């Protein structure tokens, strides 16, 4: 972990020193954190709406009860549901004509999802940042915004090609913050569900943090076809919460190198290599003694993304140590005897996990249709008695009505297993019923 961080920081610094010119085509760091000098509006209103329907074919356990993976989130009340899963509106722009070197980004979520559902919030501010572009090679962004990290989390959600995240991203990177006081696990429930299976008081982290970031992007090479990007960030490590609950800070490092083929903004074509790391501390009463303890949370990953003409594919490997999430019904971060017992079997506070995915798509020439296929695997609580493996194949079709309206159909075939337990024993009594899930998403960007 330490060697990777040093390598990332060194690569970023070398890229800054050797850069021959500033990037014009935009990557995710630049797209979300900057505006074009002298061209951006003072205030541009934008947003999107996601309406979806999902249906889960999983079977109940022997007692005719269901666990969260067999129900449709974020409410987890049934196996089929319509939902406005995303409804965001924002404004972004520059300080023109006063100072075009200063830009801002403001965004709020009104949909029913992991951001708003915990706590029953009507709306939640997800972004509120200011970027200062006065220092060549070292832009400064501060406030609440997406931290530099895994491609699946860093990319704009409106450009996400699927309905649901991979398991490795959903469980390892989409952070859930423990309740400050120990909270007992929620047992499986019969349908209709009487008790809320969502045991967490706070919203998901949404791949965001409050802090300050140093970043930039550079074009290098004789033909300026390589785009090097770096980002270094210090944040609270407390997700969408503006305040912090301890004095420890999260450290983020990110570096990417992309061979640019053409295009601009989110539609740019190229071959990108990326690496990132994240290290921090979470405070929580993990052993239920009335006193909060500090637990390390480390994440790192590498990835590759290719996009050209009608083809695309992406692959990422991610690894985590500490604060391993074990389910929305387990706010204690523990399963079975591991609940309230840090270091015990089934407890994720000191656990380890890793996983990867490979996805790709092909859009037919002169057609509005795109076919896509994805495989993802996640190994949770590695080397633990309650180690679990998640394997998912997802097939999909995208239909583009126009550049701003898209219909997505997905079917996910899921195989979940607690590898150290016999069939029907322990966690497998619940997991073996997990089956396929169908989903339809209509998205409109404005």
CATH code (residue 177): 2.40.160.10
Q: 378-394: b or e for each residue (b if 16 or more CB lie within 10 Å)?
A: bbbbbebbbbbbbbbeb
| pLDDT over 70 (residue 25) | no
For residue 40, what pLDDT is reported? Answer: 77
pLDDT tens figures, 339-395: 889 989 999 999 999 999 999 999 999 899 999 999 999 999 999 999 999 999 999
Q: If phi over 0 gives left and psi between -120 and 50 gives alpha, with beta otherwise, what is residue 412? A: beta
Q: Residue 167 belongs to what H/E stretch?
A: helix 167-168
pLDDT tens figures, 58-80: 999 999 999 999 999 999 999 99
Cβ atoms 356, 309 nearer than 8 A: no
Going by C-alpha positions, the residue among 416, 331, 425, 354 that lies closest to residue 70 is 416
> Collapsing DSSP states into helix, strand and coil, what is residue 13?
helix
Rounded to the nearest 5 degrees, what angle is found at the Cα of 439, between the Cα atoms of 433 and 445? 150
Q: Does residue 63 sit within a domain? A: yes
For residue 11, what pLDDT is reported? Answer: 40
pLDDT tens figures, 198-242: 999 999 999 999 999 999 999 999 999 999 999 999 999 999 999
pLDDT greater at residue 22 or residue 366: 366
Q: Does residue 367 sit within a domain? A: yes
Q: What's the pLDDT band for 412 if we cut at 50, 70, 90?
A: very high
| pLDDT over 50 (residue 8) | no
Mean pLDDT computed over 6-21? 37
| Cα separation, 69 vs 430, whole angstroms | 10
Q: What's the pLDDT band for 13 if we cut at 50, 70, 90?
A: very low
Q: Does residue 103 sit within a domain? A: yes
Q: Does residue 286 sit within a domain? A: no
| Cα separation, 343 vs 23, whole angstroms | 47
For residue 19, what pLDDT is reported? Answer: 34
Task: Please report, rounded to a whole number, the percentage of residues in the chain having pLDDT higher than 90.
Answer: 82
Q: Please give the residue range of the domain that contains residue 98.
A: 2-277+298-322+349-445
pLDDT tens figures, 250-280: 999 999 999 999 888 778 899 999 999 999 9
State the sign of the Cα–Cα–Cα–Cα dihedral 9, 159, 145, 329.
negative
Cβ atoms 398, 362 nearer than 8 A: no
Q: What pTM was estimated for this model as a whole?
A: 0.91
Q: Does residue 142 sit within a domain? A: yes
Question: How many domains, the chain?
Answer: 1
Alpha helices in 34-165 (DSSP H): 151-154
Q: Please, what is the average pLDDT of the chain?
A: 91
> Collapsing DSSP states into helix, strand and coil, what is residue 179?
coil
Q: Does residue 416 sit within a domain? A: yes
For residue 304, what pLDDT is reported? Answer: 97
pLDDT greater at residue 421 or residue 181: 421
pLDDT tens figures, 423-440: 999 999 999 999 999 999
Place of tokens 């060194």: 10
Q: Does residue 285 sit within a domain? A: no
Q: Does residue 327 sit within a domain? A: no
| pLDDT over 70 (residue 310) | yes
């Amino acid at each position: 972990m330490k060697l990777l961080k040093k390598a990332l920081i060194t690569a970023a610094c070398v890229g800054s020193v050797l850069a021959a010119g500033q990037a014009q085509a935009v990557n995710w760091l630049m797209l979300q954190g900057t505006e074009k000098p002298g061209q951006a509006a003072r205030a541009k209103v934008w947003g999107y709406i996601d309406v979806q329907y999902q249906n889960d074919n999983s079977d109940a356990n022997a007692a005719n009860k269901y666990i969260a993976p067999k129900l449709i989130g974020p409410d987890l009340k049934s196996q089929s549901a319509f939902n406005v899963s995303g409804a965001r509106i924002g404004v972004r722009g520059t300080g023109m004509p006063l100072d075009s070197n200063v830009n801002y980004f403001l965004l709020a979520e009104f949909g029913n999802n992991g951001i708003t559902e915990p706590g029953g919030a009507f709306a939640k501010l997800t972004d509120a940042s200011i970027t200062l572009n006065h220092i060549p090679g070292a832009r400064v962004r501060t406030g609440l915004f997406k931290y530099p990290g895994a491609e699946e989390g860093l990319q704009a959600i409106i450009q996400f090609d699927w309905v649901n995240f991979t398991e490795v991203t959903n469980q390892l990177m989409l952070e859930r913050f423990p309740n400050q006081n120990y909270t007992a696990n929620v047992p499986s429930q019969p349908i209709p569900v009487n008790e809320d299976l969502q045991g967490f008081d706070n919203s998901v982290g949404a791949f965001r943090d409050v802090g300050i970031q140093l970043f930039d992007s550079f074009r290098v090479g004789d033909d300026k076809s390589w785009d090097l990007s770096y980002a270094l960030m210090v944040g609270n490590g407390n997700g969408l919460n503006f305040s912090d609950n301890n004095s420890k800070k999260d450290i983020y490092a990110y570096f990417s190198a992309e061979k640019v083929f053409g295009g601009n903004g989110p539609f740019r074509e190229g071959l990108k290599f990326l690496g990132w790391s994240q290290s921090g501390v979470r405070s929580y009463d993990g052993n239920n003694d009335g006193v909060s303890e500090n637990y390390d949370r480390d994440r790192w990953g590498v990835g590759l993304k290719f996009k050209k003409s009608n083809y695309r594919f992406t692959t990422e490997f991610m690894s985590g140590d500490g604060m391993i999430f074990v389910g929305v019904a387990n706010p204690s971060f523990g399963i079975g005897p591991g609940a309230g017992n840090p270091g015990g079997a089934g407890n994720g506070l000191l656990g380890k996990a890793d996983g990867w995915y490979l996805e790709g798509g092909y859009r037919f020439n002169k057609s509005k249709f795109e076919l896509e296929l994805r495989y993802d695997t996640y190994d949770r609580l590695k080397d633990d008695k309650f180690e679990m493996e998640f394997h998912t194949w997802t097939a999909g079709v995208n239909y583009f009505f126009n550049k701003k309206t898209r219909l997505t159909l997905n079917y996910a075939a899921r195989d979940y297993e607690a590898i150290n337990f016999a069939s029907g024993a322990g966690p497998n009594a619940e997991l073996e019923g997990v089956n396929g899930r169908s989903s339809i998403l209509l998205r409109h960007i404005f």
